[in-house]
């Protein structure tokens, strides 16, 4: 897929929004978004999201390592937790950042629900262990129903490595982290008033009290950290899509679908206007933009879940390698639905129990070897019914 360069000057970026006189922390201030995500104080940038960049880079290397059958469980666990020198650079190894601790760890969803948060982390731990202990030993075995191994796509295509139910653990983990790490941290943590307004953040932002020796207020930084989980591997002033293995890549995929063209600008504009609102002390506009971001990012996860389930359906019974690859990606996006956020609520579009039920349907008996078109259509319809798109729009 070609890289999608977001326009530096987009019509929506110049729209303004006014707050009422009684807005929290504002005095009727007007908010104007800049042309790009550029914010400075005394001529020096106030934008910083280095921790998010580190985690995305770690994730890219970790996902790649899941397809290396020479890796041990200790090494893969070490990459997930950043314990040991398993990354390619000393900067990552000594960054003090890791993937696992931020997985299913948002303030809104998991601070008071550590049971589910720990269960999700443990499930990912189990998939890592199964990749090493079930799939790697069968790397050269031809996969059949009930036996892990390799399966080639039709026409001499790519070789996929699956468990006994046809699931590619590397794809399941990759796509599940789009929800459990990236979306959860953006939608349910850094864009949440519980984080943005914690402690003295409003008072300090109103008075331009900076965060220690940094050139930003704490509230500015929290918003930037949300931004960084989507655009963290590129230039904020002209961010390109398809730059990593996570949400950035799949925003590109959805944007390239004519049914959803414009979603990339919608998200970028909302990030800019929300950040500008923080500078203007207009928290009503800030929260309005957070709701837009929640809606659009949730849509990306749902659209790709339906897309891969439908793509997998087309190859069932004829090209198992292609079907299982698509269904494994779909599995991960379905798993990620529990980390979405309905605008104006504190709830996901699908609860954990609903997602667990979908997973059970996909993995029952011999899993993808037995799954039917009817099951895939039923799950796809259930997902689409809660969003403003159809299965036909998302599935092609």
311 domain residue, yes or no: no
Burial 307-329 (b: 16+ CB within 10 A, else e): bbbbbbbebbeebbbbbbbbbbb
66 domain residue, yes or no: yes
The 10s digit of each residue's pLDDT in 203-240 is: 999 999 999 999 999 999 999 999 999 999 988 888 88
In this predicted structure, the answer to whether residue 195 has a pLDDT above a threshold of 60 is yes
- Evaluated on CA atoms 165, 171, 173, 175, the torsion sign reads negative
In this predicted structure, the answer to whether residue 26 has a pLDDT above a threshold of 80 is no
Distance CA 290, CA 286 (A): 6
283 domain residue, yes or no: yes
Task: Decide: helix, strand or coil at residue 289.
Answer: helix
Query: In terms of residue numbers, what domain contains 95?
Result: 1-141+164-304
377 domain residue, yes or no: no
Q: What is the mean pLDDT of residues 233-250?
A: 91
The 10s digit of each residue's pLDDT in 31-84 is: 999 999 999 999 999 999 999 999 999 999 999 999 999 999 999 999 999 999
Average pLDDT, the chain: 93
92 domain residue, yes or no: yes
363 domain residue, yes or no: no
The 10s digit of each residue's pLDDT in 250-273 is: 999 999 999 999 999 999 999 999
Q: Nearest Cα to 211, choosing from 155, 164, 278, 304? A: 278
Would you place residue 25 in the very low, low, confident or very high pLDDT band (cuts 50, 70, 90)? Answer: very low
380 domain residue, yes or no: no
Res 14: pLDDT: 35
For the chain, the domain total comes to: 1
362 domain residue, yes or no: no
Task: Decide: helix, strand or coil at residue 162.
Answer: strand
């Amino acid at each position: 897929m070609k890289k999608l360069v977001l326009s530096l000057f987009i019509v929506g970026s110049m729209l303004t929004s006014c707050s009422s006189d009684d807005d929290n922390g504002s005095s009727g201030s007007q908010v104007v978004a800049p042309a790009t995500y550029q914010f400075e104080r005394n001529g020096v940038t106030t934008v910083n999201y280095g921790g998010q960049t580190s985690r995305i880079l770690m994730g890219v290397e970790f996902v790649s390592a899941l397809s290396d059958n020479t890796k041990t469980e200790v090494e893969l666990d070490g990459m997930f937790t950043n314990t040991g020198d398993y990354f390619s650079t000393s900067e990552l190894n000594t960054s003090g950042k890791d993937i696992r601790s931020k997985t299913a760890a948002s303030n809104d969803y998991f601070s008071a629900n550590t049971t589910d948060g720990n269960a999700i982390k443990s499930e990912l731990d189990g998939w890592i262990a199964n990749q090493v202990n079930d799939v790697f030993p069968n790397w050269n075995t031809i996969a059949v129903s009930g036996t892990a191994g390799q399966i080639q796509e039709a026409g001499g295509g790519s070789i996929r490595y699956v468990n006994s139910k046809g699931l590619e653990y590397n794809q399941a983990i990759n796509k599940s982290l789009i929800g459990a790490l990236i979306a959860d941290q953006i939608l349910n943590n850094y864009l949440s008033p519980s984080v943005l307004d914690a402690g003295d953040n409003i008072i300090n932002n109103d008075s331009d009290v900076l965060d220690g020796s940094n050139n930003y207020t704490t509230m500015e930084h929290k918003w930037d950290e949300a931004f960084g989980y989507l655009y963290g591997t590129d230039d904020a002033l002209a961010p390109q899509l398809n730059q990593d293995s996570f949400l950035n890549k799949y925003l590109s995929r959805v944007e390239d679908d004519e049914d959803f063209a414009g979603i990339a600008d919608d998200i970028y504009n909302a990030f800019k206007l929300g950040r500008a609102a923080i500078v203007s002390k207009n928290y009503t506009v800030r929260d309005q933009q957070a709701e837009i971001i929640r809606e659009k990012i949730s849509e990306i996860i749902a659209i790709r879940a339906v897309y891969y389930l439908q793509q997998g359906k087309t190859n069932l019974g004829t090209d198992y390698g292609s079907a299982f690859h698509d269904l494994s990606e779909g599995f991960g996006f379905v798993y990620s639905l529990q980390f979405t956020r309905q605008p104006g609520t504190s709830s996901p579009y699908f609860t954990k129990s609903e997602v667990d039920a979908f997973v059970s349907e996909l993995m029952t008996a011999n899993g993808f070897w037995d799954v039917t078109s009817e099951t895939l259509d039923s799950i796809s319809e259930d997902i689409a019914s809660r969003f403003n798109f159809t299965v036909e729009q998302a599935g092609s």
